[in-house]
A = this chain, B = another copy of it.
Amino acid sequence: LQILGANSAAPAHGRNQTSQLLNINEELILIDCGEGCQLQLRKYKAHMQRISTILISHLHGDHYLGLMGLLFTLHLQKKSDPLHIYGPPGLAEVIRIQLKYSNSVLHYPIEFIEWEPGTEAMIIDNPIYSVRTIVMKHRIPCMGFIFSEKPKKRRPIEKKIPLWAGSSVFKDLKDGLDLIHPETGELIPNNELTFPPKKSRSYAFFSDTLYSPELAEKIKGVNLLYHEATFMDDLRDRAVQTFHSTAKDAAMMASAAQVGKLLLGHFSIRYRDLNPLLQEARQIFPESYLATEGESLYIHD
């Protein structure tokens, strides 16, 4: 996971607006796309062309205004693979109207998938991973996303596999089958020839939301939770009024959901120094970290 921006409403203090790049098995998924996202992608030398999927949590400017420019730049770079864009109702209209007025026909096809506000769904489901939406409590329809790797295969231990077994057995062993000698019928149990699968990892992205303790059940035990922390807890009233969370809220969510690590983001422009937010979260959930632009995190199981 690479952080491209972690500021809220306006860019400030050298911090850009919300955008993250998630690499799952070398497939790149862009999560939100604040203004200047294409500049950030360029700055951090991301392989823009490999972005297959863009998820937009909601239609507040700080989460999507970089999308149009990125689409044009991918066009100029002669992208030809399809791009899948998931977002709230209205996103396709906003894009199409701007393509119309600029008289542009993009080199690559876009598949728009708009979700029904308030209804959670599995929006991506392939052999490697799935993505589910999770309803945020915000001023306009807004979704978070839960990314889950599918169960992985067992890992054959090459030196333990008998010489009589051909290379074709690897697939069966990965699938958990025992090894049987084609002539003698001798059986070697799978677990003597393979290591167990690596654990499947999960990541929850909580976009703009009022603190919603009831959501903890839905992200129980995820390896990493990104949770917005627009304010510190002394501005709780302001957070509630604007449907945002505090650093303390984010930590309470992480604690209740027993997540592996917590990543704080969506910082208000009023905070130049973010350490006080980090300290506030760590008092409740020690495994809290700040989302820092340009930083890449490996999500551990």
Which chain A residues have a beta carbon within 8 Å of chain B's beta carbons?
A: 9-12, 35-36, 38-39, 42, 59-62, 65-66, 68-69, 72-73, 76, 88, 90-91, 93-94, 97-98, 100-103, 139-140, 269
Contact = CB atoms under 8 A, between A and B. Distances in A.
Given A39-B36, A94-B97, A72 B66 contact: no
A214 to B, nearest CB: 24
A76 to B, nearest CB: 5
B38 A76 contact: no
Nearest to A67: B65
Contact of A42 (B11, B42, B59, B101): B11
Contact of A61 (B9, B36, B69, B93): B69
B61 A68 contact: yes
Given A11-B42, A94-B97, A98-B61, A35 B103 contact: no
Q: 4 nearest interchain CB pairs?
A: A90-B101, A59-B101, A35-B69, A61-B72
B39 A11 contact: yes
A171 to B, nearest CB: 44
A94 B94 CA distance: 7
A38 to B, nearest CB: 7
Given A38-B35, A102-B60, A69 B65 contact: yes
A94 B9 CA distance: 20
A98 B94 contact: yes
Given A61-B69, A65-B69, A42 B102 contact: no
A258 to B, nearest CB: 35
A38 B61 contact: no
B38 A11 contact: yes
20 contacts: A10-B38, A10-B73, A11-B39, A11-B42, A12-B42, A35-B38, A35-B39, A35-B66, A61-B68, A61-B72, A61-B98, A61-B102, A62-B69, A65-B65, A65-B69, A76-B269, A90-B97, A90-B100, A101-B140, A103-B139
A103 B72 contact: no
Contacts of A100: 90
Contacts of A88: 101
Contacts of A66: 35
Given A76-B9, A97-B94, A59 B102 contact: yes
A100 B59 CA distance: 10
A97 B64 CA distance: 14
Given A11-B38, A97-B93, A140 B103 contact: yes
A84 B98 CA distance: 21
Contacts of A91: 101
A62 B39 CA distance: 13
Nearest to A63: B102
Nearest to A60: B102
Contacts of A39: 11, 35-36
